[in-house]
A and B are shown apart, each in its own frame.
Chain A
Amino acid sequence: MKRINKYIRYTGLAVLSVLILFGCNNFEDINTNPDDTTSVSASLLATNVILHYTKFAGRDGKSLIADNALPKYVGYANEGQMDQQYNKIGSGYFDAMTILPNIQKMIEYAGGSVMEDSYRGVGAFAKAYTFYTLTVKMGDIPYSEAGLGAEGVYKVKYDTQEQVLKSVLDELQAADQYFAKGRTFDGDPTPYKGDPVKWRKAVNAFALKVLMTVSKKETIGGINLKTRFAEIVSAGNIMDASTGYYGLMYSSKNRHPLSGTNDLFTSRTILSSLLVNQLKSLNDRRLFYYGEPAGAKIAAGKTPSDPDAYEGVDVEIEYAVMNTGHSNNLYSLLNKRYLQQEACEPLRVVSFAEQQLILAEAVLKGWISGDAKAYYESGVKAALTDVMTQTTASYAHEMPITAGYIAGYFTGEAAFKTTASEQLKQIWIQRYILQFMQDAETSFFEYRRNKYPEFPINPATSLNENNKNGIPMRWLYPAAETNYNRENLEEALNRQYDGYDEINKIMWILK
């Protein structure tokens, strides 16, 4: 028995100690996840960075519709009143700023490679695009201290909108220079496929858009807007008809947000009368690509190819009335291709068409010299060509856009008018039509700047409780800022909005 005692005692303890020693050495391996990596490449990060700000960021199809309800493209007769349709805006988010460490890592990985300049260009553009979008929504935002969390800066100071925009313009200028030196790079999900020449053109086209958006100002942080605009145009590295759009192509793998839905959220999206009437008056066949004929009109004998079969809804009418009208088939719904096709149209973030229309306005403003009419017509033609070439004509109710149609477009209301104020309105309305189901937020920013096209407002239905006769002017600051960055937020609010975060307050660029 004694022997067994010893045997058990010593073996047990020996086994235990061996296992413990063995186990400890093994701990690093045990805590390493084989499905994660600590080392990646600049191209993998570039794909992430580009998608981060380029891809549609909303959660689902409904958020795309909400984006389009704010600038009055659509009315929403589904599950409940849509706030945006009735002039209510909620909070913005700063989550987009998490792009900054990714940009930094991308540039670190690119260091020393032949593609380094291109990736630096991507980084600069990504940063400019992200902060431009945030500042024009909210006003002052963190910029100079942003993205320094790894260095311990958790409570980030806000910069003035002017400082942010100046930095945006600087970044765009830097991006232009990087791409000028750049080589074709890997990991680009856009149709440009890493071509630095096309990227450079898109960057400059976007810079023109930024400058025009803040056109109420003369200078920003010492930058003369007019001069900067003219410099970019005269340098000549801007988009041409063959550059194509900067954006993303949808496919069966990357489907359009509305694709395959026909449900509680998306099935009853009605075109606004604001949009439909403009298209009708311009004899614009995009009507047939954007909408479906109203059932009641078809029942009354109209054909789907007849513009009169299309009827928009006055989006300020009461929700219940709109619903009743919808039930009685009074209105044109969103064209079926959006719900049925996987890739009904690409996402165009920066386009030649938009650039040309901006140039037309710049001529009228005297920022550059040139032929406003030519810019106007080339912009509209490009927009129509995009629809012609990038959408399925079978959904156009037998009214397809053809080269011949485009050539004959500029008659009647669409012909470039004679007075500058009328011409401006024509340019603006074309920019408005252009952004339907695309970058609808831009149309909202344009409305703030131009008050055109005139949005319908009804104080009896408005959810903008503090200004029932007006469209709200900004997004609120992220609610999370009050939890984790209150002092800096309060400083920014005191500086701009008398300390009160409210949607009708006027930000610096609109003053």
Chain B
Amino acid sequence: MILLLMVVATQTFAQITVNIQNKPLREALKEIERVSQYKFFYNESLPGLEKNSTLRLTNATIDAALQQLLANANIAYRISENNIIALTVKEDANQLANQAQQNKVMITGQVLDTNGIPIIGANIIEVGVPGNGTITDYNGDFSLNVNRGANLKITYLGYGDVLLNTAGKTSFAVVMEENTEMLSEVVVTALGIKREEKALGYSVQSVEGDGLQTVKGVDVGTSLSGKVAGLLVRNSTEFTEAPSIQIRGEAPLLVIDGVPYANMTLRDVPSDDVESLSVLKGATASALYGYRGSSGAIMVTTKKGLSAKGLSVSINSGTMFAAGYLAIPEMQSSFGRVVKTNANGKQEYVRSGDGSWGVPLDGREIIQWDPISKSMQPMPYLPIGKDNFQNFLETGYILNNNINITQQGEFGSFRTSATWVNNKGQYPNSTYDKLTFGLGGDMKIDKLLLSASMTYNKQTTPNTGFRGYTGYDPMYSMLIWSAPDWDVRQYRDYWVVPNEVQNSSYTSTNNNPYFDSYERTHSQDRDIFNGSVSIDYDLTDWLKATARSGFDIYSDRQDITVSKGSFQGAGSSTVLSGGTQVWGESQRGSFNIGLGRGYSLNNDLLLSVDKSFGDYRLEGLVGGTIYYRQDDGIEARTQGGLTIPAFYSLKASVNPAAVRSVMYKQQVNSLYGRLGFSWKSLLYAEATFRNDWSSTLSEENRSYLYPSVSGSFIVSELLPSYDWLSLWKLRGSWTSSKTPADIYSINSVYSITSNAWGDLSSASFPSSIKGTDVLPESASTFEVGTAINILNNRASFDISYYEKKMYDFLRSASISPASGYTSNFVNTDEEITRKGVEITVGGTPVKTKDWQWDLSLNWSKYARYYTQLDSVYSTDKPWVAVGERVDHYTLSDYQKDPEGNIIHNNGLPIYSKYPSLFGYADPDWLWGINSSLRFRDFTFGISLDGRVGGIAQTTTEMYMWRAGSHPNSVVPERFLDANNPGTRNYTGEGVKVVSGEATYDTYGNITSDTRTYAPNDVAVTYQTYINNLHRGTAWGGSPSTLDAYSTTFFKIREISLTYNLPAALSNRFKAKSASISAVGQNVFLWAKQFKYSDPDGGYENFSDPSIRYLGFNLKVVF
């Protein structure tokens, strides 16, 4: 901000300082363009352009400069508001006289587009008279002296040519139409090959970088939500958790500037560095990437040089603050914890932390922990902590600042970019910093194009926190096993004995939340460095060689420290990717450190051909890639506690520290080729092949071929030309993709456990049978689609249908452990087919000079079906059958009578012993709407997206029920139970068995049933009932049907209101352009069943409250 003000202060009025000595006028104009923001438009035939001129001025206005420069030339000028200066031939009296003599006539006119907006700079030439022409000015007006009855040709980039016969008329209104062909989009495809979208036989969708740079969260991935049909972005609400991205249900490959790095993620790409994103949706689109691209790819093109020579400085600053929550758990405030009679016969509450199944919070006197005096004191028992969770939360924010400087010279460009993202989470001590520094440039010398870039990323957080039930999330101790009878605000002083005994209302299970945030921490420090160099050399005008080398290297340090006196360890958390879960070690304290590092190399060499023979065009390439990656890491954990409290070092380990190292290596060599063919702009066909050799397969099977074919047919070229039809294209593609085994997965090795008992180590034989002769997994994908653009591309429609048949699955297929093994690593005969449809509709319903409304909608659906089963390895269940969906969500339902009533035993609902089908885990369909509305300099943008269907367990609510914390658990029966200990007051709705018995076969079908029923009349306590009704755990196993929710929801993902400063205003501080926006992210949520947490993350296990972010964004380009 300070920097910005300085810039504004020094750059005031646009005044020109030039020194031109005896140079052609053409050069002088270029010089003025260079030192000012003005651009000249003129016809190349303008007389006097080559005439030498001289101009010396200091801090002059543009008018002064032009008057001096053009004084002796026969040229008039006109300056428009957007700094465009149109030069035309001056018409003077002498000239008019001459014209009359020469039988000439002056033609005037105005050129407009189909919306009535003037076209500036359109070329008008007199046909057959070389050198006679002009261009339109700011109002679209032109005038030109022509021979009587001459023909004029009017041209403008992107518009169809217009021919005009001037016979008998001197004034014309010309309407130019946009040229569909000229506008056809260029997209980046595999290996960075740029191609016209209409030539593609597969589905690719682009997202422009501009759309990602106004509302900037931590991750650019979040901004992709709902923007691309078939792209599912699951945004977790957990602090620092990156969104998970799937294309057509699978995780895509990330390619940055042509390099498929192994360790880079979208998190490492600042949104301000993105020029465009190209989503290659299927295996065909990314066939040239081999197995790594078998699930599609996201191709990021980063910003490079400028379109014109010069220097540009761009500053983009985004600030967003938490402004409320879309979903946050609430807690009942009527009941406290269990109260016992203490040794003195007084009422004292139990401090072991087991929820709120105790006495009503009615002000009765109870001996309680007083956090101020740090002793037990009699106090009235009241719901003083009903807002504990909200009171504990802090205001989060996201700052996302970028400055980048680009210099474009004649032979190349250089760009440097620095980004700082600072995210404050909602819990104390949760901050996250991300620094990115990037350099890139290119050089073009003759036939050689050299480009290089490198990026350094640093991401740090002192405490990323702990997640989920099994990680002991803060919610675990505040909302679940807690009661609203203590006020968290009194617990900021969290020590009783520093570093040893915490000041907590509880003596087990529930940490003081402040203690938990500061003394049980998981810090992360990650550095990633990546770079690439690429050389293109034009061997001939049709043959090009490209060499490209990319590498990335990361190092990652994670520490988990747990203070002595903590009631929880680190649970399922790990300090190394794929490392050991840090269980236990609570109370005694523990220190855990993980160091991970790794790198990947990707070297490509390509030769590409592009040659046309008349209407035929042939493109092709051959190339090879060597890809190598290596990850290694070491982790160490103290054992048996810390010898000195708060001494967080491996040296503090009571028993010898547990140490483990890992190393993963893989190399894949590839040869590939591509052949593209097109005829006119009617027919496009393409075939690719790729052969990989992967180190992870046995010698016999490590080589595999990966072919693809695709084609596109432009139907509209064959049809008579209709006004309304701009483009109609049919496309189709097929590929057979392969995925080799994972690293080491074919190796049959013993696992060694050191110190398995005492000092003895042990070795165990693998419990999986390893077949070394396994083949790579295969899939064959076909896709068909059509795209229609109508009304001069004002509206477009695109639909794709695809089927991906996956077979030869490499599975550790479960087998009966009676075989001595729990699984068999084989290619199973099971075959699964994913079928999907994607539809994109876009349009510009309104487009006038002042108004423009753009709208795009996308909708997609996919599901996986069994298309063949394996007689040995497929699960023998009714829902595993040909034609059934693969993502079945099964659980053990309540036992029910023929009328559907829940059967009770001793007053409690009983469950079936057999799992049954409850629904499907994947969403049924996804949708997104993106719209922007521009009025003059104001633009309002909104994006919405949602999912329909898909089942997920609500772990939070299930545990809130079971702990008695759920707001809906405050019922009259519970008061009766609490006030009359030993009584049972809740009678569940349903039936009980009076006599008889049912028997079942092994599928769970009833084989005989003699049961007779009566209404359930056995009362139990509400607590017991609820605990049986909401069965399920966070440890695996299925929930009860009540806690399996539909994840249907929709969200207003982003809104923004941008004001683009008019040039006159931004010129005042020497800026080329400037804009200011009010922005919001994660603005509104509607969910069908999830009320207390956000289902966006796709699963629900103590999801942190979903934060609404509002803020502003400032963007200035100099």
Chain A residue nearest to B358 (CB atoms) is A327
**Other-chain contact of A38, B603, B661, B663, B750 (Cβ < 8 Å):** B750
B762-A51 in contact (CB<8A): yes
8 Å CB contacts to A: which residues of B676-704?
693, 695-696, 699, 702
**What string of 1s and 0s marks CB contacts (under 8 Å) between B237-250 and chain A?**
00000000000000
Across the interface, do A44 and B762 meet the contact criterion of CB distance under 8 Å?
yes
Binds B, one of A149-157, A389-397, A432-440: A149-157
B97: which A residues are within 8 A, CB to CB? Answer: none
Chain A 23-53 interface mask (CB, 8 Å, partner B; 1/0): 1101110111111111111001101100100
Q: Is the CB of B763 within 8 A of A499?
A: no
* Contact yes or no, B624 A16, CB < 8 A: yes
Q: Which of A67-75, A404-412, A481-489 contacts B (4 or more CB under 8 A)?
A: A481-489
* Given A248-B757, A324-B981; A48-B762 close (CB under 8 Å): yes
**Interface: B1020 (CB within 8 A):** yes
Chain A residues near B762 (CB-CB < 8 A): 44-45, 47-48, 51, 187
* CB of B268 to closest CB in A, whole Å: 26
Distance (Å) between the CB of B569 and the closest chain A CB?
10
Contact A35 B661 (CB under 8 A): yes
Q: Which of B85-93, B345-353, B373-381, B705-713 contacts A (4 or more CB under 8 A)?
A: B345-353
Asked if A295 CB lies within 8 Å of chain B CBs, one says yes
B539 close to chain A: CB less than 8 A: yes
Q: Assuming A40-B752, A498-B999, is B763 touching A263 (CB within 8 A)? A: no
The reply to whether A146 and B820 form a contact with Cβ atoms under 8 Å apart is yes
* Pairwise interchain contact A329-B824, C-beta atoms closer than 8 A: no
1/0 per residue, CB under 8 A from B, across A258-275: the answer is 001011100110000000
Known contacts A12-B547, A156-B819, A483-B875: A31-B814 contact under CB 8 Å: no
Q: How far is the CA of A189 from the CA of B760 in the complex (A)?
A: 7
Contact B815 A484 (CB under 8 A): yes
A483, B876: Cβ atoms closer than 8 Å: yes
CB neighbours of B607 from chain A (8 A): 9
B752 touches A37 (CB 8 A): yes
**B262–chain A nearest beta-carbon distance, Å:** 14
Q: Which of B603, B607, B662, B750: most chain A Cβ within 10 A?
A: B750
Contact B341 A296 (CB under 8 A): yes
**A19, A35, A262, most chain B CB atoms within 10 A:** A35
A81 to B746, CA, bound (A): 45
A340-355 at interface with B (beta carbon < 8 Å): none
| A98 and B817 form a contact (CB under 8 A) | yes
Q: Is B916 an interface residue (CB 8 A)?
A: no
- Which among B350, B818, B820 has the greatest number of chain A C-beta atoms within 10 A? B818
* Contact (Cβ within 8 A) B757 A154: no
Count chain B residues whose beta carbon lies closer than 8 angstroms to a beta carbon of A: 113
In the complex, A254 has a CB within 8 A of chain B: yes
Please count the residue pairs between chain A and chain B whose beta carbons lie under 8 angstroms apart in the complex: 301
B587 in the interface, Cβ–Cβ < 8 Å?
A: yes
- Tell me the complex Cα distance, A502–B1018, Å: 25
In the bound complex, what is the Cα–Cα distance between A461 and B744 (angstroms)? Answer: 52
Alpha-carbon distance A43/B1012, docked complex (angstroms): 60
Chain A residues in 8 Å Cβ range of B584? 260
Say if the beta carbon of B126 comes within 8 Å of chain A.
no
Tell me, yes or no, whether A466 is within 8 Å of chain B by CB.
Answer: yes
> Which residue on B lies nearest to A91, using beta carbons?
B913
Contact A260 B588, CB 8 Å, known A20-B669, A481-B816:
yes
Q: Determine whether the beta carbon of A44 is less than 8 Å from that of B1024.
A: no
CA distance A254 to B767 in the complex (A): 24
- How many Å lie between the Cα of A173 and that of B1021 in the bound state? 55
Chain A interface: which of B31-39, B803-811, B1001-1009? Answer: B1001-1009
Distance between A50 CB and nearest chain B CB, rounded to angstroms: 9
B1052 → A minimal CB distance (Å): 40
Q: Does B756 contact A (CB under 8 A)?
A: yes
Q: How far is the CA of A154 from the CA of B817 in the complex (A)?
A: 9
Q: Which residues of B contact A171 (CB under 8 A)?
A: none
Considering the chains assembled together, what is the distance between the CA atoms of A32 and B1000 in angstroms? 49
Determine whether B420 belongs to the interface, using a CB cutoff of 8 Å to chain A.
Answer: no
Residue B900 CB within 8 A of the other chain: no
Write the nearest CB–CB distance from A406 to chain B, whole angstroms.
30
A254, B824: Cα distance in complex, Å: 32
User: Is A253 part of the contact surface with B, judged by Cβ < 8 Å?
Assistant: yes
Tell me which residues across on chain A come within 8 A of B748, comparing CB atoms.
38
> 0/1 per residue, B982-1000, Cβ < 8 Å to A?
1010000000010001011
A466–B587 Cα distance when bound, in Å, is 44
Find the A residue at minimum CB distance from B343. Answer: A299
Interface flag for B312 (CB, 8 Å): no
**B655 near A: Cβ within 8 Å?**
yes
From 870 to 904 in chain B, residues with beta carbon under 8 angstroms from any chain A beta carbon are 872-873, 875-877
Q: Which residue of A lies closest to B743 (CB)?
A: A31
In the bound complex, what is the Cα–Cα distance between A20 and B691 (angstroms)? 12
Scan A268-296; emit 1 where CB is below 8 A from any B CB, else 0. 10000000000000000000000000011
Nearest-Cβ distance from residue B809 to partner chain A, whole angstroms: 16
- Flag whether A501 is at the interface (Cβ < 8 A): yes
With A146-B819, A260-B588 given, is the CB distance from A35 to B605 under 8 Å?
A: no
Does A234 touch B at the CB level, under 8 Å? Answer: no
Q: Which chain B residue lies CB-closest to A502?
A: B999
B481 adjacent to A187 (CB under 8 Å)? no
Residues of B within 8 A of A485 (CB): 816, 818
Check: B115 CB closer than 8 A to any chain A CB: no
Q: How far is the CA of A329 from the CA of B1021 in the complex (A)?
A: 20
B241-285 interface code vs A (CB 8 A; 1 in, 0 out): 000000000000000000000000000000000000000000000
Residue B51 is within 8 A (CB to CB) of chain A in the complex: no
A267/B749 in contact, CB under 8 A: no
Please give the distance in Å from B151's CB to the nearest CB on chain A. Answer: 45
A467 to chain B, nearest CB (A): 9
Closest CB of chain B to A18's CB: distance in Å? 10
Tell me if A328 is interfacial: C-beta within 8 Å of chain B. Answer: yes
Closest to A463 in B: B905
Q: Does B397 contact A (CB under 8 A)?
A: no
Look across to chain B and name the residue whose beta carbon is closest to the beta carbon of A298: B343
Distance A79 CA – B761 CA, assembled complex (angstroms):
37
State the Cβ distance, A381 to closest chain B Cβ, in Å: 29
Q: Which residue of A lies closest to B338 (CB)?
A: A327
- How far is A18 from B638 in the complex, measured between Cα atoms in Å? 47
In the assembled complex, how far is the CB of residue A336 from the closest CB belonging to chain B, in whole angstroms? 14
Any B CB within 8 A of the CB of A490: yes
Q: Using A16-B624, A155-B872, A319-B1024 as known contacts, say yes or no to A500 and B1000 having CB atoms under 8 A apart.
A: yes
> Would B752 and A149 count as touching, CB distance under 8 A?
no
Q: Is A329 touching B1020 in the complex (CB atoms < 8 A)?
A: no
Chain B residues with Cβ under 8 A from A156's Cβ?
A: 816, 818-819
The A449-471 residues at the B interface (CB cut-off 8 A) are 459-463, 465-466, 468
Q: In the complex, how many angstroms separate the beta carbon of A37 from the nearest chain B beta carbon?
A: 6
Which residues on the A side are within 8 Å of B539 (C-beta)? 5, 8-9
Chain A residues with CB under 8 Å of B877's CB are: 482-483
Q: Are B744 and A33 in contact (CB under 8 A)?
A: yes
User: Is A105 engaged at the interface, CB distance under 8 Å to the other chain?
Assistant: yes
User: Contact: A98 with B822, CB < 8 Å?
Assistant: yes
Q: Is B935 in the interface zone, CB < 8 Å from A?
A: no
A-B contact pairs, 16 of them (CB 8 A): A12-B547, A16-B626, A19-B669, A30-B666, A31-B747, A40-B752, A47-B760, A81-B1028, A98-B817, A101-B765, A252-B640, A262-B352, A267-B352, A320-B1024, A327-B338, A482-B1003
6 smallest CB-CB distances across A and B, nearest first, come from A149-B819, A147-B820, A44-B763, A189-B757, A36-B749, A142-B818
**Residues of A participating in the B interface, judged by any CB pair closer than 8 Å:** 1, 4-5, 8-9, 12-13, 15-16, 19-20, 23-24, 26-28, 30-41, 44-45, 47-48, 51, 55, 78-81, 93-98, 100-102, 105, 141-142, 145-150, 153-156, 187, 189, 248-249, 251-254, 260, 262-264, 267-268, 295-296, 298-299, 318-321, 323-324, 327-329, 459-463, 465-466, 468, 476, 478, 480-486, 489-490, 493, 498-502
Given contact pairs A23-B667, A264-B352, A296-B341, a sample of 9 additional A-B residue pairs in the complex whose CB atoms are under 8 Å apart: A31-B665, A31-B746, A44-B750, A45-B765, A48-B762, A253-B640, A260-B588, A329-B341, A482-B1003
